[in-house]
Amino acid sequence: MTILPVIPISPDQPDSAVQADSVQFGGVKPRRRPSMPPRHLADLDLAARKTAVTGLGEPAFRAKQLSTHYFGRLVRDAASMTDLPSAVRDKLTTELLPTLLTPIREQACDDGATRKTLWRLHDGALVESVLMGYPDRVTACVSSQAGCGMACPFCATGQQGLTRNLSVAEIVDQVVYLAGVAASGAVTGSPPRLSRVVFMGMGEPLANYPRVIEAVRRLTTPAPEGLGLSQRHITVSTVGLVPAMRRLIAEQLSVTLALSLHAPDDDLRDELVPVNQRWKVAEVLDAAFDYAAQTGRRVSIEYALIRDVNDQPWRADLLGRLLHGKLAHVNLIPLNPTPGSKWDASPKPVEREFVRRLRESGVSTTVRDTRGREIDGACGQLAAGELTQAGAGGVAADAEVAQ
C-alpha cells in the first residue's frame, strides 16, 4: 500500500476546510449538522447554467465556456481559464464551481492500478471513491450517499447508518475528479480516458433516486453539458428497492442494473439484506428481469459468498433454478470481512463448487476480482476505518439527526 500525496483538486483552493477546523477547535472536529452543499454547475443542465450566469450579470455564452472547462477539459481552477477575463473567471468559479469535495487521503495499491480517495464534504461528512485501472478501461466506483440506511450486517457502510444523500454535483464531481486523475496518466498500464462508472461505493443509489438519475444524465450527456460517457458503461447497484427499480424501468435508460441478492431464499435474505423484509426475493427478481427485458441488458446478480452462511450447494442450485433462462449474470464476490465481523469468505473449493453448480444450471457466472482490499477499497469497506478513528464526520452527524 502507498499513501499518496493528495492531488489538490484545484490549485487555488487549498484544503482550507480541514485546516480551519483544527486551528479553530484545537484539533477537535466540530459536530456539524448534515446539510446539502452550495449550488454547483454540475447540479444544473445547460439551460439552467445559462440562467444562472445571466443572473450573475454575464452573457449566457459564458455558461458554455465554463462547462467546457469543467466537463470537456476537466479543469476547475480559475487560473487555467484563460479565455475568460480574470474578474469574470473568479466570479464564475466562486459562484458555480464551489469546492464540494476536499480530498483528505489518497491511497494506492495493486501497483498503482487501484486508487482510493477519501473526501470530506462541506459539512464534514466523509465519503470515498475508488479508481480502478485495467488494460482496456478505467472505472470509477462512486458513492451516492454519506453512510447508508440499508443496514446490511456484512457491509461496513451499512453499520454506519445514513448521514445524508449526496447532491447531484457531489456525485458527478467524484467522477470528474477521477477522470482528471486518469487523464494525468496516473493509472499506469491503463488508457487515460475514464470510461466506466459503478454506483458501488457508499450508499444505496436508489434511495437517493432523483439525484442519482440526474447524475447519470449529467455523466452521459455529451460535453460541454455533461461528461459524455456511454449509458451502457454505467452500473447502478441496488439492494432491491422495488418501486424505485420500477421507476428506473420507466426512465428508459440503458444503464446496467446490478441487484445485490446475496441469498436465493427469503429466510436468509431477510437477515443479510434487511430490506427483503419489505420486498421479497421473487418480487425483487421480477423487477430485475423486467428491467433486463426492457433494456435488453443482462442484470448482474451480486452475491457475496459468506462461509457457511449462503455458500451451500443447495443454495447454488436454488439460485440456478431462479435464474435459469433469464437475462442475468451472477457476479460472486468473496466476502471482504468487516472488522469484528463474525463472518468470513467462503473457502476456495466451496466457491468453485458454487460456480460449477450455477454454470451447470446454464447461468453465466464470474467471481469478482478483489481490487483494493489492501486499502479497504473493496466492497463495503469504504470510509469505515476513517469514521472509527475520527469518531466524527458522518457518525457524529448521524447521531445528531437521530436525537
Q: Is 304 in the site for ligand SAH (CB under 6 A)?
A: yes
- Number of residues in contact with ligand SAH, rule: CB under 6 A? 18
For ligand SAH, what does the binding mask look like between residues 54 and 93, x meaning CB under 6 A?
----------------------------------------
Choose the stretch contacting ligand SAH; rule: CB under 6 A; options: 55-63, 148-156, 317-325, 358-366.
Answer: 148-156
As a whole number of angstroms, the distance between CA 209 and CA 171 comes to 12
Cα dist from 169 to 250, 268, 350, whole Å? 24, 37, 43
- Partner residues linked to 171 by β-bridges: none
Does residue 380 interact with ligand SAH by CB under 6 A? Answer: yes
Choose which of 102, 260, 295, 300 interacts with ligand SAH (CB under 6 A): 260
**Residue 293: other Cβ atoms inside 10 A:** 13
Backbone angles phi, psi at 323, to 5 degrees: -100, -10
Is the bond into 313 cis (omega within 30 degrees of 0)? no
Number of helical H runs and strand E runs in the chain: 14, 13
- Residue (of 217, 206, 218, 226) closest to 145 by Cα position: 206
Give the three cell numbers for residue 113. Answer: 492500478
Candidate list 126, 172, 335, 387; residue touching ligand SAH; CB under 6 A: 335
**SS3 state of residue 310:** coil
Fill in the per-residue mask, 169 to 208: x = in contact with ligand SAH (CB under 6 A), - = not in contact: -------------------------------x---x----
In the bound state, the residue with its beta carbon closest to ligand SAH is 380
What does the alpha-carbon distance between residue 100 and residue 86 come to, in Å, rounded to a whole number? 22
141 is catalytic: no
Please report how close the Cβ of residue 260 comes to ligand SAH at its closest, in angstroms: 3
The binder of ligand SAH chosen from 190, 295, 338, 365 (CB under 6 A): 338
Q: List residues with catalytic annotation.
A: 128, 379
Binding site for ligand SAH (CB under 6 A): 150, 152, 154-155, 200, 204, 237-239, 260, 302, 304, 333, 335-336, 338, 379-380
